Structure 1
Amino acid sequence: MAHIDLFFSTLSPYAYLAGNRAEAVAAKHGATITYKPLDIMALFGRTGGTPPKDRHFSRVEMRAQELVRQAKLLDMPLTLKPAHWPTNAAPSSYAFIAAQNAGGGDLGKLMAAILRSVWADEKDIAQDAVVRACLEEAGFDPSLADSGLLEGAETYAANLEEAVERGVFGAPFYITDTDERFWGQDRIDHLGAHLAGKL
């Protein structure tokens, strides 16, 4: 059975725009997914990237146009400058890690709910109530927001180190068990073609 490691940030607009398409591709090809939330700002610093606030205006303008166009093509609501971005991604990431360890819900739906909270609903995912609502929506026990904080912190840090070692430099980033790497929500079709044996 094929396997995908999905590196993402709960702050990433591109991870938001991915929706649940990677999950659909994995299901179609009988692949499993392990989710690896990480600190995207730290990743940029470790892999030669530049945080959005420090980018040249030409890159900032292009990013803004691209996000709007991609959201329209995908028919997804998007607030280009959400009220609570950037925010502390750790609480939502720790809760996600706790949910993945606990099982019982839909991780793809949880990722989508957290990201939608930022980019469509303009909620602060650093707030406990927001994280709890996302957990509940995805079929998890909302109390997971308060559990496994130490393990969550350790896994979150380990995910960053693993990402750097395995060539990840952005989000979402998909790595198959054959070390094929796909960067960005606009490469999910390529991931599917690879799993189908066409790439």
Structure 2
Amino acid sequence: MSRNVEYFFTTASPWAYLGHAAFMEIAQRHRLDVQFRPMPVRRVFDATGGLPLPQRHPARQRYRLVELQRWRERRGLPLNPQPKHSPFDASIADRIVIALAGQGANPDAFMRRVFAGTWAEERDLGARELLGALLAETGHEPEASMRAAESEAVAALYDANREAAVAMDVFGAPSYVLDGEVFWGQDRLDLLDEALTSGREAFRAG
């Protein structure tokens, strides 16, 4: 029987980019049922005490830049730690992922193109025209997908993902939730893989 992992992220996150391919490999190997749950991460920060990047202490900002370079090397992925189009409004790209998943389509290829576009190709992923082109490039119907992404129903699901994230103790992106146990950050993927391999019961805070 396949196991379920809830995948909380935003397409604007460099950490989600760094971990995405590795997570999808784990999902395929363990035959996981992945629930793609993009979320408005700034609102999750607001609810859980996190700070947006510009408000963090300079020491934390500098350390983040070093970590991005470390993990760029570890994952073997091209990444500009300070791309010219970041930050950008990721809500449209995030909602496209919700729309695709809701249509029964696999959003993986589209997500990879969005991640790479921002962090490796210096492209503005807040632009509707570019998102439409990436939808077409990855085998999706751009107009229908964009209409669905901009619908009230998908907007409600986007907000519901925020509520679910906070309820599950998710406070950052990416987070992977297995049987209620949160694995925060792409640097926890080895621990997720080990939990899946062992079949152990989920750890709890209390």
Q: Report the TM range for the smaller structure's normalisation.
A: over 0.9
Shift of 1:85: 1.0
Which residue of structure 2 aligns with residue 23 of structure 1?
Answer: 24
- Residue 165 of structure 1 corresponds to which residue in structure 2? 167
Superposition map of 1:1-199 within 5 A: 1-104=2-105, 106-143=106-143, 144-149=145-150, 150-176=152-178, 178-197=179-198
CA-based RMSD: 1.4
Residues in 1 aligned to 2:60 and 2:149: alpha-carbon distance in whole angstroms? 38
Taking the aligned partners of 1:135 and 1:166, their CA distance within structure 2 comes to 31
Gaps of 5+ in 2: 201-206
Alpha carbons 2:39, 2:162 under 8 Å: kept? yes
Runs of 4+ in 1 over 6 A off after TM superposition: none
Q: Which amino acid aligns with 1:108?
A: D
Tell me the SS of whatever aligns to 2:121: coil
TM-score by length of 1: 0.93
Alignment match, 2:204: none
For 1:112 and 1:60, locate their aligned partners in 2 and report how far apart those are by CA, in whole Å.
25
Which amino acid in 2 is paired with 1:165? A
Residue 10 of structure 1 deviates from its aligned partner by: 1.1
- Asked if 2 retains the 8 angstrom alpha-carbon contact of 1:95 and 1:146, the reply is no
2: distance between equivalents of 1:159 and 1:83? Answer: 28
User: How many residue pairs were aligned?
Assistant: 197
**Which digits, 9 at most, give the CA deviation of each residue in 1:75-101, with x for residues without a partner?**
111111111111111111121111111
Give the superposition deviation at 1:146: 2.7
The one-character-per-residue Cα deviations of 1:10-58 (angstroms, maximum 9, x if unpaired) are 1101001013211111111121100001111111111111110000010
CA contact (8 A) 1:4 1:33 kept: yes
> 1: CA distance between counterparts of 2:73 and 2:114?
20
| 1:16–1:116 Cα contact (<8 Å) kept | yes
Contact 1:20 1:109 in 2 (8 A): no
Summarize deviations over 1:148-173 as a string: whole Å, max 9, x none. 42122111111111101110011110
DSSP 3-state at the match of 2:125: coil
Give aligned-pair identity as a percent: 33
- Tell me the TM-score normalised to structure 2 length: 0.90
Gaps of 5+ in 1: none
Contact 1:93 1:152 survives alignment (8 Å): no
1:43 and 1:140 mapped to 2: Cα distance?
Answer: 29
Deviation string for 1:124-179 (max 9, x for gaps)? 11111221122223322222123342122111111111101110011110001x21
Partner AA of 2:163 in structure 1 = E
